[in-house]
Structure 1
Amino acid sequence: MEIKQLKYFLEVCKHKSFSKAAKEIYITQQGLSKAISNLEEELQYPLLHTTPKGIKITKYGQYLQKRSEHIVQEFDLILDDMNKMANINEGTLTVCFSFGVLNALSPDIISDFQKTYPNIKLVIKTYPDSICEEVVMNEKADLAVSIGPVNEKTFNSTAIKSQYPCILVNKKNPLSKKTSVDFKELKNEKFIILNEKFHFYHNFINKCRESGFEPNIVFTTSEIITVHKLSHFNKGIGISIDFMAKDINYEDIYPIPFKDPSFKWEICLITKKHRFEPNLVKIFTNYMLNY
């Protein structure tokens, strides 16, 4: 027996008519009749009789009507209270940020959120991309702001900002004279890049393979500043992102953008698929999209 069935039954009792009750609850008369029939079949007792003068409620129907009215009312009160609880802008929200993402966004984005929603306690965690996904998957965080692409079978994902990668070329390298670079031109170079825990690493390798070669990665790290420093020492070509190249400046290093516009560093909001999203997650998502 479902609450919806009881509501339908009480509506028919109230109007003494299937047609009037159906209009009141925005359901077809056929659908309403089927719901009442299913209820009678489940209870194994007749509840209503149709007569030329209208609907007659049986003694079993009268008993069910009397006992179920307060049940439906109580359920509606519970649902109303829960809706009010869900819409209260207070509580704790745990958000994972992938390394580098907060630098790419406005430095005030977290403090502004906390000023706007002072009753929401924001717990911030920072990890590499793959760890962010793992934390969300294990429900140790409500959502993550990470780098795409993500597994769409596992996560809901909304892109909020794109930055573009670049190579870091020492002035001694002939590529430093270029204004943009194609992947095929990098075939014989040595590379310094973030490690395999970052989507950036895999995205770069995939682009190289599409261009017909396996990249010669000589050093990986979890810190983008190390990529820039080793490029400065001419240990290889660093793979970085445009905004980082502006922040970490070496005079002998030239940031050269890629010609391929599809190679990008895309910041995404991700949540676990098929998991109920509380109101706080919706508030934070809307805030990030409108910031």
Structure 2
Amino acid sequence: MDIRQLTYFVEVVKQKNFTKASQTLLVSQPSISKMIKGLEEELKVTLLDRSERKLKLTDAGQLVYEKALRVLRSVEDVYASVDELVNLQKGTVKMALMPTIGVLLFPTILAGFKKKYPRIDIQLVEYSAKYLELQVEQGDVDIGVTALPVNSEVFETVSLLSEELVLIVDSDHWLADMGSVRLSDLKNESFILFTEDYLLHDMVRRACLQSGFEPKVAYKSSLWDLIGEMVASQLGISLIPRSMVSRFSNLEVREITLSNPHIDWELALIYRKDKYLSYATHEFVSYVKKNNHP
């Protein structure tokens, strides 16, 4: 068994396709097939169920895949550690952000860090909160910015921002001139929520259930601006973080405080507890801790 066999096997599983894996690895498909077949013969098990059009892991394949991921992460850590010694203050930080939220928090921090460490590259990608946690846990990105709570056994957290959710309604809504409302007052309203991929969807629904009602959902969207447009068009109401209301300043919407209950929206920088942090990533986390004041 060698590292190439595990690398090829893991990529095939991720891509669920030999052809796509060969394109990603820049290795011929027959070479990949031969490597995986050799791994199966060495372990005396079948790792991939090839009987269907879509590849599936066997029970043994699932076990080997999980172990292979750990081995490959350990190997990556070795290379990263050596590279850090040879190229001090060089490196790359792979960071995942939730859409839009990062824009509120990071321009100043990123500019300051880049000025201090001009040779460290920061690669930014956007994911919904639930998928973002998975990417950090799997090691596909080094750190992420997401909403709490997260699994404290898996992740270290650095608090970034804490604010409350507020209600937004159209300017002609019967609640438009209210200074504050109780969540239970909204039980007959139509809600516009984020899709289930977003933690905000779960937060709002859970708060409504705790207030004694199941929210009537008129629409779901993954786009902040579309939610604001739908509220302004009198298609429903929505609950959003207070800092996001400024995005809708050009729309006929009103912001109303929730008096009972207050729903806290907490954002944090997260990274795996058991994952080696490269020099670049470690320096970025330290910089955020020193320069962010939640």
TM-score (norm 1): 0.67
Change beyond 3 A, Cα 1:236–1:194: same
Q: 1:274 — aligned with what?
A: 274
Q: Deviations over 1:26-76 (max 9, x none)?
A: xxxxxxxxxxxxxxxxxxxxxxxxxxxxxxxxxxxxxxxxxxxxxxxxxxx
Secondary structure at 1:175 match in 2: coil
- Partner Cα separation in structure 1 for residue 231 and residue 83 of structure 2: 55
Secondary structure at 1:110 match in 2: helix
Residues 55-94 of structure 1 aligned to structure 2 (within 5 Å): 85=85, 88-94=88-94
- In the alignment, residue 215 of structure 2 is paired with which amino acid? P
Aligned-pair CA distance for 1:261? 6.8
Q: Deviations over 1:88-124 (max 9, x none)?
A: 3221110111112222215333232211111111111
Aligned-pair CA distance for 1:289? 2.2
Residues 1-291 of structure 1 aligned to structure 2 (within 5 Å): 85=85, 88-260=88-260, 262-291=262-291
Aligned length: 211
Aligned-pair CA distance for 1:158? 2.4
- Partner Cα separation in structure 1 for residue 88 and residue 178 of structure 2: 55
Q: 1:5 — aligned with what?
A: none
8 A contact 1:227–1:240 mirrored in 2: no
- Partner Cα separation in structure 2 for residue 113 and residue 278 of structure 1: 16
- Partner Cα separation in structure 2 for residue 87 and residue 268 of structure 1: 29
Q: Which runs of 5+ in 1 are unaligned?
A: 1-80
- In the alignment, residue 104 of structure 1 is paired with which amino acid? L
Secondary structure at 2:153 match in 1: coil
- Partner Cα separation in structure 1 for residue 240 and residue 262 of structure 2: 15
- In the alignment, residue 263 of structure 1 is paired with which amino acid? I
- Partner Cα separation in structure 1 for residue 165 and residue 105 of structure 2: 16
8 A contact 1:168–1:238 mirrored in 2: yes
- Partner Cα separation in structure 1 for residue 94 and residue 122 of structure 2: 6
- Partner Cα separation in structure 2 for residue 149 and residue 199 of structure 1: 9
Q: Which runs of 5+ in 2 are unaligned?
A: 1-80
- In the alignment, residue 89 of structure 2 is paired with which amino acid? N
- Partner Cα separation in structure 2 for residue 223 and residue 275 of structure 1: 32
Aligned-pair CA distance for 1:251? 5.0
- Partner Cα separation in structure 2 for residue 213 and residue 205 of structure 1: 9
8 A contact 1:230–1:238 mirrored in 2: no
Aligned-pair CA distance for 1:153? 2.7
Q: Deviations over 1:7-35 (max 9, x none)?
A: xxxxxxxxxxxxxxxxxxxxxxxxxxxxx
Change beyond 3 A, Cα 1:141–1:288: same
Secondary structure at 1:240 match in 2: strand
Give the superposed CA RMSD. 2.2
TM-score (norm 2): 0.66
- Partner Cα separation in structure 2 for residue 245 and residue 271 of structure 1: 29
- Partner Cα separation in structure 1 for residue 262 and residue 272 of structure 2: 26
- Partner Cα separation in structure 2 for residue 84 and residue 92 of structure 1: 11
- Partner Cα separation in structure 2 for residue 201 and residue 134 of structure 1: 18
Change beyond 3 A, Cα 1:134–1:237: same
Aligned-pair CA distance for 1:131? 1.6
8 A contact 2:225–2:247 mirrored in 1: no
- In the alignment, residue 157 of structure 1 is paired with which amino acid? T
Secondary structure at 1:164 match in 2: strand
- In the alignment, residue 222 of structure 1 is paired with which amino acid? S
